[in-house]
Amino acid sequence: MEFLGKPRSQRAAFLPLCLLFLKILHPGHSHLYSSRYASDKVIRLIPNTEEEAYALKKIYQQLKVDLWQPSSISQVSEGTVTDVHIPHNDSRALLAFLQETNIHYKILMEDLQKVLEKGSSLPTQRSRRSVSGYNYEVYHSLEEIQNWMHHLNKTHSGLIHMFSIGKSYEGRSLFVLKLGRRSRAYKRAVWIDCGIHAREWIGPAFCQWFVKEALLTYRSDPTMRKMLNHLYFYIMPVFNVDGYHFSWTNDRFWRKTRSRNSRFRCRGVDANRNWRVKWCDEGASMHPCDDTYCGPFPESEPEVKAVANFLRKHKKHIRAYLSFHAYAQMLLYPYSYKYATIPNFSCVESAAHKAVKALQSVYGIQYRYGPASSTLYVSSGSSMDWAYKNGIPYTFAFELRDTGHFGFLLPEMLIKPTCTETMLAVKNITMHLLRKCP
Ligand SMILES: *[C@@H]1O[C@H](CO)[C@@H](O)[C@H](O)[C@H]1NC(C)=O
Ligand SMILES: *[C@@H]1O[C@H](CO)[C@@H](O)[C@H](O)[C@H]1NC(C)=O
Ligand SMILES: *[C@@H]1O[C@H](CO)[C@@H](O)[C@H](O)[C@H]1NC(C)=O
Ligand SMILES: *[C@@H]1O[C@H](CO)[C@@H](O)[C@H](O)[C@H]1NC(C)=O
Ligand SMILES: [Zn+2]
């Protein structure tokens, strides 16, 4: 830091100021979750046989691990990778079990707290505003994101209109940005949401990046101009506002909403299992304490209901639904709830193929693509399947970087490359929409 070379007396005077600054700059990070993740581990396991998979499911239940990938115990199966976050007090038991059973494993993170603290950049770099205004290369709290939206609504009223589609369980506004050149003519639209799952912070960062790029390149980039002239984009930077806020203040690895349950102490519903499409079937849990809890009934979550209502109302115009998640590096399309190909498969497939190639052309990052069920895992009640079933022909879910090295703790340094490459994929899909599918 700047004051390191200064005489001692001056340094002492600077120090309290600096600490004060740090506190302001790190609203969510000020206590770094009270060091609750110290010595927690993240372990990657690959069961080779059905027996090993069965044994793993049992031990996961006993130890109450935090599953990172896949997201539910029912999706653990032979030959597939599982990444688990195991609290420090239970990690010894898990490791002993793994050695005993000879199940193949690799420790991805020895000390989760240390990774978490390293991931956010140095406080001196972590200014809220970069030289040219807003800093898009840091993760922003919900309050910051909402202030940013209000600011854009005031300063870019020609291209942006901000509105609310309802309130969250805890009473927060569910804000959406309508982006595009306003014209009288009928315009088709693309819906984009980020942050259905609270801990996947790269999602909201991408939504912000998308809006920034649109505003910055509207005049200079013919593709972007065409997109904004011919389409509207409805962008919801943070879908699960309560959960996202909670992941900043209390639990970095919170996934669900924050709704209460009458019979259990556990809170929250998986907002990507709560949609009325094969609701609460395979890949979803009926238990309120599980991370993939489907909720008491479809659209029980006010956030899901608000978005579903909006999409129902505007489905005639909305041609594409894009949802941003992490992590896996995949571009997924329906179906998620069953192994089957959709009608018009080849149109969607070729859009995905081109998008993934465009993404890869930037830094060589490889994405897998395909129907969600066979590419990732089967999950029922997802927003993507619901949007598709409700008449939106192009529906995709992105699983952004990485493939497990940092997992949900993707460092801020990687926001820019991740968003830059993803931008190309989204533009490619969008331009595909503007053409007639062959
Ligand atoms: C570890 O901590 C969790 C949460 O505090 C607790 O539920 C669990 O019983 C503990 N496990 C052991 C082996 O002490
Ligand atoms: C966005 O700006 C418009 C026009 O100035 C205003 O009517 C609207 O209330 C603003 N949206 C929000 C959510 O404040
Ligand atoms: C989409 O990606 C493909 C494959 O990389 C490329 O050939 C095509 O030019 C891209 N189209 C647009 C509009 O970016
Ligand atoms: C398939 O494509 C055709 C022609 O573009 C279109 O009329 C039809 O509605 C599409 N079907 C579905 C299920 O998207
Ligand atoms: Zn997700």
Worst-scoring range by mean pLDDT, 119-128, 162-171, 361-370, 410-419? 119-128
Residue 13 predicted with pLDDT over 80: no
Gap from CA of 56 to ligand 5 centroid (Å)? 23
Q: Cα–Cα distance between 252 and 198 in angstroms, integer?
A: 8
Choice among 28-32, 36-40, 425-429 with the minimum mean pLDDT: 28-32
Atom of ligand 3 minimally distant from the CA of 432 = 13
If one residue of 188, 344, 385, 394 were mutated to test the ligand 4 pocket, choosing by the most ligand atoms within 8 A of its CB, it would be 344
Specify the pLDDT at position 300. 98
Q: What are phi and psi of 232, to 5 degrees?
A: -105, 145
Please tell me the distance between residue 189's alpha carbon and the centre of ligand 2 in angstroms. Answer: 20
Give me 120's structure tokens: 């956010």
- Span 155-159, average pLDDT: 95
Query: Do residues 205 and 413 touch, judged by C-beta distance below 8 A?
Result: no
Stronger pLDDT, 3 or 87, i.e. the higher one: 87
343 exposed, middle or buried (CB, 10 Å; 0-12, 13-18, 19+)? exposed
Among the atoms of ligand 2, which is closest to the Cα of residue 150?
14
Closest atom of ligand 4 to 344 CA is 1
Confidence band of 6 (pLDDT split at 50, 70, 90): very low
Nearest CA residue ID for atom 1, ligand 1: 89
Q: d(Cα 27, Cα 267) in Å, to the nearest integer?
A: 24
User: Quick one: tokens of 387?
Assistant: 């949007």
Site to probe by mutation for ligand 2, drawn from 146, 154, 157, 162 as the one with most ligand atoms within 8 Å of Cβ, is 162
Q: What are phi and psi of 427, to 5 degrees?
A: -65, -40
Higher-confidence position of 344 and 197: 197
Question: How far apart, in whole angstroms, are the C-alpha atoms of residue 166 and residue 203?
Answer: 21
Tokens representing residue 128 in the block: 């809220």
Average pLDDT score over residue span 386-391: 97
Catalytic-residue membership of 399? yes
The alpha carbon of 306 and the centre of ligand 3 are apart by a number of angstroms equal to 34
For residue 3, give the DSSP letter: G
Q: Is the pLDDT of residue 438 over 70?
A: no
The continuous run of DSSP H or E covering 331 comes out as strand 330-333
**Could you tell me the distance, in angstroms and rounded to a whole number, from the CA of residue 333 to the centre of ligand 3?**
19
Say how far apart CA 328 and CA 282 lie, in whole Å: 20
How high is the pLDDT of residue 126? Answer: 53
Q: How far apart are CA 343 and CA 176, in angstroms?
A: 30
What pLDDT shows up at residue 433?
A: 85
Mean pLDDT lowest among 21-35, 76-90, 159-173, 263-277:
21-35
Residues 175-219: pLDDT tens digits?
999 999 998 778 999 999 999 999 999 999 999 999 999 999 999
Spacing, Cα 266 to ligand 4 middle (Å): 43
User: How far is 394 from 431, CA to CA, in rounded Å?
Assistant: 12
**Is pLDDT above 60 for 252?**
yes
| Nearest CA-CA partner of 419 in 346, 365, 343 | 365
One-letter amino acid identity for 81?
V
Q: Both tokens of residue 131?
A: 């030289």
Question: What is the pLDDT, as a whole number, of residue 406?
Answer: 96
156 Cβ contact partners less than 8 Å away, ≥ 6 residues apart:
215
* Residue type (1 letter), 282: E
> For strand 82-86 and strand 41-46, is the pairing parallel, antiparallel, or unpaired?
antiparallel
H helix or E strand, kind and range, residue 432: helix 415-434
87 touches ligand 4 (CB under 6 Å) = no
Helix (H), strand (E), coil (C) string for the chain: CHHHHCCHHHHHHHHHHHHHHHHHHCCCCCCHHHHCCCCCEEEEEECCCHHHHHHHHHHHHHHCCEEEECCCHHHCCCCCCEEEEECHHHHHHHHHHHHHHCCEEEEEECCHHHHHHHHCCCCCCCCCEECCEECCCCCCCHHHHHHHHHHHHHHCCCCEEEEEEEECCCCCEEEEEEECCCCCCCCEEEEEEECCCCCCCHHHHHHHHHHHHHHHHCCCCHHHHHHHHHEEEEEECCCCHHHHHHHHHCCCCCCCCCCCCCCCCCCCCCCCCCCCCCCCCCCCECCCCCCCECCCCCCCCHHHHHHHHHHHHHCCCEEEEEEEEECCCEEEECCCCCCCCCCCHHHHHHHHHHHHHHHHHHHCCCCEEEEHHHHCCCCCCCHHHHHHHCCCCEEEEEEECCCCCCHHHCCHHHHHHHHHHHHHHHHHHHHHHHCCCC
Ligand 3 atom 5: residue of nearest CA: 358
Q: Is the pLDDT of residue 123 over 80?
A: no
Residues 391-406: what's their mean pLDDT?
Answer: 96
Q: What percent of the chain has pLDDT over 90?
A: 84
pLDDT of residue 130: 56
Tell me the pLDDT band of 23, cut-offs 50, 70 and 90: very low
Is the pLDDT reported for residue 14 higher than 80?
no
Ligand 4 and 393: CB distance under 6 A = yes
**What pLDDT is recorded for position 307?**
98
| H/E stretch holding 45 | strand 41-46
Mean pLDDT, the chain, as a whole number? 90
pLDDT at 344 (0 to 100): 84
What's the confidence (pLDDT) of residue 139? 96
| Residue to mutate, 149, 153, 176, ligand 2, most ligand atoms under 8 Å from C-beta | 153
Structure tokens at 329: 């590096």
> Could you tell me which residue, 14 or 244, shows the higher pLDDT?
244
Beta strands in 60-212 (DSSP E): 66-69, 82-86, 104-109, 129-130, 133-134, 160-167, 173-179, 188-194
